[in-house]
């Protein structure tokens, strides 16, 4: 009986894996990419609704800022409109705190077309049900299918065969989001991609194409599960933030052989050698759950909430690099 269940699970995983690259390849087949190279989307394209329907371009775009921070969520996300509940407080805190910077998070980094799982898909009804269960914290194992689906997209991104197509698509989505938030391509303001967990791989992959668009790109891998992606070669600076108690980050190293020291000429090790890759310890934080990067507790030995410590480290990195200011440092709370 158990043997049969295992066989069926393996078959299901294989089928899920086989269809995983389909969305990226469909995006490629239907589009015009490759005929003109990587291009900035038009404003109309940037404001198109997920799925490609035309949207309304506002008369007044948001004001330009000195720096843009693009947050790419982990594999728990299911669409561009809403971050997973547990991530929201940290991201909001970050947006309040980081100065001279626009924080962007309305990107679904696991869909080449930025289409939510719950809309415009054949299995939308199923995904809606799973999202509902997830938010109600019911049937966790079943709702975990969302994470699994997105994890396969991370594998598509890291794969040297599919990655170039997938990462191109996501780079286009990031470029569109930047335009929506007032980025002016001609001014070439610096852009930092902040990828949490699997989002770090997407950030690394997209960096290649964003640099082709003329962007000054940096990558923050927040407990990132990423491979030695060619995109790292195009990132001016990479910060790998990790918790000391995070075992998942260690697993990421095991699963990405080209990050191992024996591959001295891999993108990861080259960046490390050139001083473009820095490791930043975030203290005794875990990957998820209590004591995780987004958790409210238990409090750390210095009295901070884990999520506050996470925001502190990200802001510190940006301030030290001269990319942003710390709003709270300028106007300390009384």
What are the residues binding other proteins (CB under 8 A)? 14, 17-18, 20-21, 25, 28-29, 34-38, 152, 155-156, 158-165, 168, 208-209, 212, 230
User: What does the DSSP assignment read for 66-109?
Assistant: SEEEEEE--TT---SS---TTTHHHHHHHHHHEESEEEE----T
Q: Residue 299 and residue 290: Cα distance in Å, rounded?
A: 10
In the complex, the smallest distance separating the C-beta of residue 33 from other proteins, rounded to whole angstroms, is: 8
In whole angstroms, the minimum distance from the beta carbon of 156 to other proteins comes to 5
- CB-wise, 13 or 85, nearer to other proteins? 13
Shortest gap between Cβ of 171 and other proteins (angstroms)?
9
Rg of the chain, C-alpha, whole Å: 19
Residue 223: enclosing H or E segment and its boundaries? none
Q: Which CB, 156 or 314, lies closer to other proteins?
A: 156
**DSSP assignment letter at 121:** S
Whole-number Å distance between alpha carbons of 301 and 149: 36
Q: What stretch of H or E contains 194?
A: strand 191-196
Q: Considering the complex, what minimum distance in angstroms separates the CB of residue 115 from other proteins?
A: 19
**Residue 260 C-beta: closest distance to other proteins, Å:** 15
Could you give the CA distance from residue 279 to residue 282 in angstroms, rounded to a whole number? Answer: 10
Nearer to other proteins, 152 or 239 (CB): 152
Nearer Cβ to other proteins (227/291): 227
Q: Which is nearer to other proteins, 20 or 317 (CB)?
A: 20
Question: Cα dihedral sign for 267, 271, 272, 273?
Answer: positive
């Amino acid at each position: 009986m158990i043997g049969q269940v295992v066989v069926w699970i393996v078959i299901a995983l294989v089928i899920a894996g086989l269809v995983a690259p389909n969305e990226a390849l469909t995006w490629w087949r239907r589009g015009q990419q490759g005929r003109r190279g990587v291009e900035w989307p038009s404003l109309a394209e940037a404001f198109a609704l997920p799925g490609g329907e035309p949207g309304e371009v506002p008369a007044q775009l948001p004001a330009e800022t000195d720096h843009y921070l693009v947050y790419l969520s982990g594999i728990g996300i299911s669409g561009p409109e809403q971050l997973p509940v547990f991530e929201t407080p940290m991201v909001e805190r970050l947006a309040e705190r980081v100065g001279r910077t626009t924080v962007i998070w309305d990107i679904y980094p696991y869909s080449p077309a930025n289409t939510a799982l719950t809309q415009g898909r054949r299995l939308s009804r199923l995904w809606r049900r799973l999202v509902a269960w997830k938010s109600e914290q019911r049937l966790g194992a079943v709702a975990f299918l969302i994470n699994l689906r997105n994890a396969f997209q991370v594998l598509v991104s890291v794969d040297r065969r599919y990655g170039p197509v997938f990462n191109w698509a996501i780079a286009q989505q990031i470029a569109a989001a930047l335009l929506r938030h007032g980025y002016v391509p001609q001014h070439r303001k610096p852009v930092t991609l902040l990828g949490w967990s699997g989002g770090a791989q997407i950030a690394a992959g997209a960096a290649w194409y964003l640099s082709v668009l003329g962007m000054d790109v940096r990558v923050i891998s927040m407990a990132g599960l990423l491979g030695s992606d060619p995109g790292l070669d195009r990132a001016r600076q990479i910060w790998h933030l990790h918790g000391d108690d995070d075992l998942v980050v260690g697993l990421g190293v095991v699963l990405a052989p080209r990050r191992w020291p024996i591959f001295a000429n891999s993108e990861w090790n080259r960046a490390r050698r050139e001083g473009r890759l820095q490791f930043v310890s975030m203290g005794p934080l875990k990957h998820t759950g209590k004591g995780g990067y987004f958790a409210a507790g238990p409090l750390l030995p210095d009295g901070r909430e884990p999520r506050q410590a996470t925001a502190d480290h990200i802001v510190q990195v940006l301030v030290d690099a001269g990319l942003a200011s710390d709003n709270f440092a300028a106007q300390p709370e009384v």
